[in-house]
């Protein structure tokens, strides 16, 4: 048995919050298809989501984890529920042309008395396919399916002290990873060798705790690739005069802290120095503005006021709620720091504010993972923000 990251009482609180919402919406149960939400509610942890799996939350009693038979062993080791709430579908349903795991899950749900239930279900999650959904609904023709995207995510937005503790550990990991990158990056070094050391630092964690692979890989934007925020590394070597933007994270028990910084090899072009000044001023304004009661769009406004003064524009949002993440994304898909998002910040919210400016052929990034505290804002990582010269 792997010890779940949280006490039983914390999982009960999460379930209670989900059930309040199910009752409010008149739903009989919730089918959780998002892997991060599955982990949040059950502690289940395994790289098994390449075959269909779901967590089912009835209005009372323990949740069920339903997945591939081979992975039920991992369910019994990692999830907090009783063994009979870990349900494996047979191996002969895996990647077959004539049957689907969701055929089996539908039949199992019918046997469990949910054949005519009002079923809330997540329909915008990464590992739940249109085919899986059509087979589940075909197998339960008398049930009613009601979209429940983000129901759990909105509950996740407010972190407990124990969750914040994991995010602080993640922050220590990403500080180490960024220090390692600063140390190694030099003209002539291959990108892949820097990313290799970043991975080693992320996964090795710290004394006392392991790290996880982060939900997005480390990115290094430099040279010809600097305009493309999500490009992957290669064998390219750093040039003698290059602006290198790094977006990294650390993860502990899948809780993330993000950190982006920019490093200058050789002479810094004045356009880089000028942009760095605007972005740093923007970040100060953002951190200053964040406190309980302020809206997400207000925070964006603080940034907008600064860069507007510099004659700059940024189309994409400047931040999002962050916490548990599994590939491919560490965002929680709730709060976004952008115009039109009227979410009101409250203590326990955690947002990754990423000021990424991807210009034609070069780019600059600075980010902070920010905890909304009773008093205002707390940056979870402690790492010098300015353009690093080397």
Q: Which is nearer to its own copies, 229 or 376 (CB)?
A: 229
Would the CA dihedral through 21, 22, 26, 32 be positive or negative? Answer: positive
Phi then psi for residue 242, to 5 deg, are -145, 145
Alpha helices in 43-142 (DSSP H): 69-78, 101-109, 130-139
- Closer to its own copies at the Cβ: 195 or 387? 195
3-state secondary structure 68-95: EHHHHHHHHHHCCCCHHHEEEECHHHCC
User: Is the Cβ of residue 77 or residue 240 nearer to its own copies in the bound state?
Assistant: 77
Tell the burial category of 261 from Cβ atoms under 10 Å away from its Cβ (0-12, 13-18, 19+): buried
Shortest distance, position 367 Cβ to its own copies, whole Å: 15
In angstroms, give the least distance from the CB of 135 to its own copies. 10
Q: Using CA atoms, how far apart are residues 77 and 63, in angstroms rounded to an integer?
A: 15
Closest approach of its own copies to the CB of residue 16, in Å = 25
Distance from C-alpha of 195 to C-alpha of 254, rounded to nearest angstrom: 20
Q: How far is the CB of 384 from its own copies (least distance, A)?
A: 25
Kindly tell me which of 147 and 274 has the beta carbon lying closer to its own copies. Answer: 147
- Cβ atoms 199, 227 nearer than 8 A: no
* Nearer Cβ to its own copies (71/379): 71
Backbone angles phi, psi at 357, to 5 degrees: -115, 105
Token pair for 258: 């993000």
Helix (H) or strand (E) holding 149: none
Specify the residue, 26 or 208, whose C-beta has the smaller distance to its own copies.
Answer: 208
The count of other CB atoms within 10 Å of the CB of residue 89 is 25
CB atoms inside a 10 Å sphere around CB 243: 26
Minimum distance, C-beta of residue 51 to its own copies, in the bound complex (Å): 9
φ, ψ of residue 339 in degrees (nearest 5): -60, 140
**Integer Rg of the chain from CA:** 22
SS3 sequence of 195-244: HHHHHHHHHHCECCECCCCCCCCCEEECHHHCCCCCCCCCCCECCCCEEE
Rounded Cα–Cα distance for residues 371 and 345 (Å) = 10
Q: Smaller CB distance to its own copies: residue 262 or 343?
A: 343
Closest CA to 345 of 303, 280, 289, 306: 289
Residue 85 Cβ vs its own copies, minimum distance, rounded to whole Å:
16
Least Å distance, CB 222 to its own copies, is 13
Closer of 94 and 107 to its own copies (Cβ) = 94
| Exposed/middle/buried for residue 263 (C-beta within 10 Å: 0-12, 13-18, 19+) | buried
Residue with Cβ nearer its own copies (253 or 388): 253
- Compare residues 210 and 344 and give the one whose CB is closer to its own copies: 210
Query: CB 288 → its own copies: shortest distance, Å?
Result: 25
**357 strand-pairing partners:** 364
CB of 237 to its own copies, least distance (A): 11
Could you tell me the smallest distance in angstroms from the CB atom of residue 325 to its own copies?
10
């Amino acid at each position: 048995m792997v010890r779940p990251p949280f006490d039983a009482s914390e999982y009960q609180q999460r379930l209670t919050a989900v059930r309040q919402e199910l009752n409010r919406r008149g739903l009989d149960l919730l089918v959780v298809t998002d892997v991060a939400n599955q982990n949040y509610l059950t502690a289940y942890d395994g790289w098994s989501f390449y075959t269909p799996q779901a967590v089912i939350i009835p209005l009372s009693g323990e949740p069920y984890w339903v997945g591939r038979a081979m992975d039920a062993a991992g369910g019994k080791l990692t999830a907090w529920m009783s063994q009979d709430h870990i349900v494996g579908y047979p191996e002969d349903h895996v990647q077959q042309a004539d049957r689907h795991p969701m055929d089996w899950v539908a039949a199992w749900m019918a046997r469990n008395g949910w054949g005519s239930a009002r079923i809330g279900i997540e329909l915008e999650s990464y590992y739940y396919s249109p085919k899986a959904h059509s087979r589940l609904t075909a197998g339960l023709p008398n049930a009613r399916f009601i979209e429940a995207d983000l129901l759990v995510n909105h509950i996740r937005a407010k972190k407990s002290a124990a969750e914040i503790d994991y995010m602080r550990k993640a922050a220590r990991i990403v500080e180490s990873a960024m220090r390692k990158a600063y140390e190694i990056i030099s003209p002539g070094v291959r990108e892949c060798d820097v990313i290799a050391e970043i991975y080693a630092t992320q996964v090795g964690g710290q004394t006392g705790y392991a790290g996880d692979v982060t939900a997005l890989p480390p990115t290094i934007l430099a040279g010809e690739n600097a305009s493309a925020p999500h490009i992957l590394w290669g064998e390219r070597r750093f040039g003698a005069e290059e602006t290198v933007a790094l977006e990294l994270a650390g993860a502990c028990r899948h809780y993330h802290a993000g950190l982006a910084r920019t490093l200058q090899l050789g002479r810094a072009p004045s356009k880089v120095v000028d942009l760095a000044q605007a972005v740093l001023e923007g970040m100060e304004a953002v951190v200053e503005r964040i406190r309980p009661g302020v809206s997400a769009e207000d925070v964006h406004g603080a940034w907008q006021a600064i860069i507007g003064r510099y004659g700059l524009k940024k189309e994409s949002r400047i931040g999002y709620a962050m916490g548990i993440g599994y590939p491919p994304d560490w965002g929680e898909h709730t709060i976004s720091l952008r115009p039109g998002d009227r979410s009101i910040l409250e203590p326990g919210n955690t947002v990754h504010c990423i000021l990424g400016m991807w210009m034609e052929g070069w780019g600059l990034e600075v980010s902070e993972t920010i905890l909304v505290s009773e008093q205002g804002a707390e940056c979870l990582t402690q790492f010098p923000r300015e353009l690093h010269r080397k």
